[in-house]
Structure 1
Amino acid sequence: MEAAEDWLVESLRLYQDFHAFDLSGATRVLEWIEDKGVFVAGYESLKKNEILHLVLPLRLSVKENQGLFPERDFKVCHGGFSDRSVFDLKHVPNTRLLVTSGLPGCYLKVWQVAEDSDVIKAVSTIAVHEKEASLWPRVAIFSSVAPGVLHGVRLSGLKVVDLASQKTTYTSGVSDSEELSSLQVLGADTFAFCCTSGRLGLVDTRQKWAPSENVSPSAGSGGGRWCAEVGSRGIASLCSDGQLCLLDPRDLCHPVSSVQCPVSSPSPDPELLHVTWAPGLDNCLAISGFDATVQVHDVTCWAGTEGQAEPLFTHRGHILLDGNAPDAAPLVTTHTWHPRKPRTLLSAASDASLHVWDWVDPRASR
């Protein structure tokens, strides 16, 4: 308890702003709609799980701190129920549609956020041909006049489906059985994939399948599972053992940097690994999925291509705020950067806690 009290005092220096909330159930989803609301969804098995559209407290929606506001909690704007676990949720930009993926059942579900009520209702499903009981499709959205859903369990089943007609507009057309860990749309005709082995690829859908890729897994992975995200500084690829690589999209076979993040042990659930680039800070990224913390790194601080990477900032609130002992602390299930506030992040954990925090750059006070 003393450690928690010390952290609360220290947090006054560490954070510009900090809010803690409790959801009705843990979530693996934090999907932005514009910059004032997020979607969350439960992932428990054998029960109905809530899908909620939450609006941020007014204090978090203004550009500057303007004193006290009457609403200091998230507000439920819309809600619905899923009859299965929701492992991924994507909002289709400029529409009221959502696409979810999860288990059981290898298919995607399309939802609509009502305009004249507070209901989120299921409107259709998208069939997925892979029928592997323990695996679920990764999802990304092509945002255009006719939105498309990019999805796949393995490279062999990777395809783009027109959301309105549900006609397939692109397929990989290969027999490659590599399991996917993440998909990311990069432009009107391009996307990136990451396989659990660490294999990365950049694809142009205007051409027959011929990705620019690093066919072999990253060196030193020791059989760990990988995830990745493309940002303005390149591709960040994260392994379940804490290895973090930075790659230039023009040369995926030779990492620009390869460092070891200070994690006490490999991720207990590699499905929850996340690496995300800060949209408002060119050099920063965040990682989670190893324990109850979120680490923020400045990639310009990495000297050379090997060695230990010390985080610029570590969010420990999910450990200490509720007085959890380190061996009983929850696992961070996901995190996301605020689209407009450069140092503001949201993070969720397996104890159903949801934190919004604006960290102070420790270098600013030097």
Structure 2
Amino acid sequence: MAEESAEDWLVESLRLYNDLHVFELQEPTRVIEWIGEKSVCVAGYENSRRNEILQLLLPQKLRVKEKQGLCPERDFKVERGGFSDCPVYSLRHVPDTSLLVTSGPPDSSLQVWQLAAEDTDVIKSVSTIPTGNDSKKPWAKIATTLARTPSVLHGSRVNNVQITEIESKKNIYTAASSISDEVSGLEFLDCNTWLACCVKGQLCLADVRQPQSPLGNTSIPSALSGEQWCMGVSSGLQGSDVNAPTIVRLSSGGQLTLTDLRNIPKPLKSARCKVSAASQSAELLCVSWAPVLDGCLAVSGFNGTVHIYDTRSWPVSGGEAESVFSHKGHIFSGMDNGSDFPLVTTHAWHPWKPRMLLSAASDGSLHVWDWAELIPRPDGTIVII
């Protein structure tokens, strides 16, 4: 990779990408959260200063569903902004509302924000949801739902996961569990069930209508028990129904495991990413399913690249997975700035453009890219789709 220059990559990008947009943020972000289908929220995560929260409108070409010719607007536009006194490690939009919830160190409290009305451009802090006086709790992982009322699922360990109504701050559920493992991710599966992935790799599934402890999964091989894990939840495209989505877990050593919630103890498939070394910042590991591209997922957090994998081609016996595409653009933007190679901090799929993603890195770069599907012909030429 070091032998490839930035100039070589730029030339190659004309062939490898249908679209490629490179932007620079004032400060790096580790969150990219969609607000509808036309804008995203990003936020700073520095400990030593106030951090901006920005709502960015995508360039015109990336907002329209039909093909466009030349578009005058080719940059993000800041729609709204605000400032957080805490680093923003996680940010979630409450569906169908103008509310945001954020979390980050130094404790597990949550901040609630209001996206301003159309006549102002301020993202306003409206409340804080405290979670006790234990300052030693890690920062809380969060997930949001509208359900019956805007609510947030939050917690730093399985035994302190709870659901809180955002406006009233009323606690409506607390996990009855003896599992004290730290949580790396939380997700609502529907208005009544939630899923947690522990840092050690276990999955915990719970139904808020039932008081018993969450179900723990101990299917992670003991050889991988020293690694840290995160998860991504599909929307059912991989052959599962809506009530039993496919879960992908990613370890800091590059192991990928697919699980159907209807049979948690028996993984569907597993494979290993092509990574030169384990992730040095496991909190930045990110794995996510493509929303409209069946069987594909994206992986980042090991270096300055984002890798795309097609799980349908994985052998049942496991082994090393071959990526169908690798985005290296953040590496070369770092080279241009004369800095060390940046680390990709997060990525997110476009909600309806099949092969388009947004990715951000530790140098403040923000890329939007749509990779071209290359189909080889029998005569050796390549067709770009």
Task: Give TM-score scaled by structure 2 length.
Answer: 0.91
Q: 2:65 is aligned with what amino acid?
A: K
Q: Percent identity?
A: 51
Any stretches of 5+ residues in structure 2 without a counterpart?
Answer: 239-245, 377-381
- How far apart in 2 are the matches of 1:61 and 1:325? 29
Aligned: 1:92 with 2:94: yes
Q: 1:320 is aligned with what amino acid?
A: F
Partner of 2:254: 242
Partner of 1:185: 188
**Structure 1 residues 320-339: aligned runs within 5 Å:** 320-323=332-335, 328-339=340-351
Partner of 1:196: 199
Q: Secondary structure at the match of 1:7?
A: helix
Aligned: 1:296 with 2:298: no
Query: 2:143 pairs with 131, 137, 140, which one?
Result: 140
Query: 2:356 pairs with 310, 329, 344, which one?
Result: 344
**Structure 1 residues 15-34: aligned runs within 5 Å:** 15-34=17-36
Aligned: 1:270 with 2:282: yes
- How far the C-alpha of 1:169 sits from its partner, in A, is 0.8
Partner of 1:215: 218
- How far apart in 1 are the matches of 2:338 and 2:251? 23
CA deviation map 1:299-356 (0-9, x unaligned): 0110123210010100000012343599921000000001111111000000000000
Partner of 1:359: 371
Aligned: 1:3 with 2:5: yes
Number of residue pairs the alignment of both structures matches: 366
Distance change >3 Å, CA 126–CA 134, structure 1 → 2 = closer
- How far apart in 2 are the matches of 1:98 and 1:37? 14
| Preserved contact between residue 8 and residue 321 of structure 1 (Cα < 8 Å) | no
Give the stretch that moved more between structures: 267-276 or 312-321. Answer: 312-321
Q: Secondary structure at the match of 1:323?
A: helix
Q: Secondary structure at the match of 1:328?
A: coil
Q: 2:8 is aligned with what amino acid?
A: D
Partner of 1:308: 320
Q: Secondary structure at the match of 1:90?
A: strand
- How far apart in 1 are the matches of 2:192 and 2:27? 37
- How far apart in 1 are the matches of 2:101 and 2:283? 19
Distance change >3 Å, CA 127–CA 4, structure 1 → 2 = same
Q: Which runs of 4+ in 1 moved over 6 A?
A: none
Give the stretch that moved more between structures: 227-236 or 335-344. Answer: 227-236
- How far apart in 1 are the matches of 2:205 and 2:129? 24
- How far apart in 1 are the matches of 2:166 and 2:29? 25
- How far apart in 2 are the matches of 1:152 and 1:77? 31
Distance change >3 Å, CA 316–CA 307, structure 1 → 2 = same
CA deviation map 1:238-283 (0-9, x unaligned): 0000000111211211211111100110001000000000001111
**Structure 1 residues 17-96: aligned runs within 5 Å:** 17-96=19-98
| Preserved contact between residue 256 and residue 305 of structure 1 (Cα < 8 Å) | no
Partner of 1:119: 122
> Over aligned residues, Cα RMSD in angstroms?
1.9
| Preserved contact between residue 29 and residue 362 of structure 2 (Cα < 8 Å) | yes
Q: Secondary structure at the match of 1:59?
A: helix
Q: Secondary structure at the match of 1:12?
A: helix
Q: 1:343 is aligned with what amino acid?
A: R
Q: 1:281 is aligned with what amino acid?
A: L
- How far apart in 1 are the matches of 2:221 and 2:49? 39
- How far apart in 1 are the matches of 2:203 and 2:356? 29
| Preserved contact between residue 333 and residue 365 of structure 2 (Cα < 8 Å) | no
Q: 2:162 is aligned with what amino acid?
A: K
- How far the C-alpha of 1:226 sits from its partner, in A, is 0.2
Q: 2:75 is aligned with what amino acid?
A: D
Task: Give TM-score scaled by structure 1 length.
Answer: 0.96
- How far apart in 1 are the matches of 2:154 and 2:221? 24
Partner of 2:299: 287
- How far apart in 2 are the matches of 1:125 and 1:338? 30
| Preserved contact between residue 213 and residue 252 of structure 1 (Cα < 8 Å) | no
Q: 2:343 is aligned with what amino acid?
A: L
| Preserved contact between residue 100 and residue 108 of structure 1 (Cα < 8 Å) | yes
Give the stretch that moved more between structures: 340-349 or 247-256. Answer: 247-256
- How far apart in 2 are the matches of 1:2 and 1:300? 30
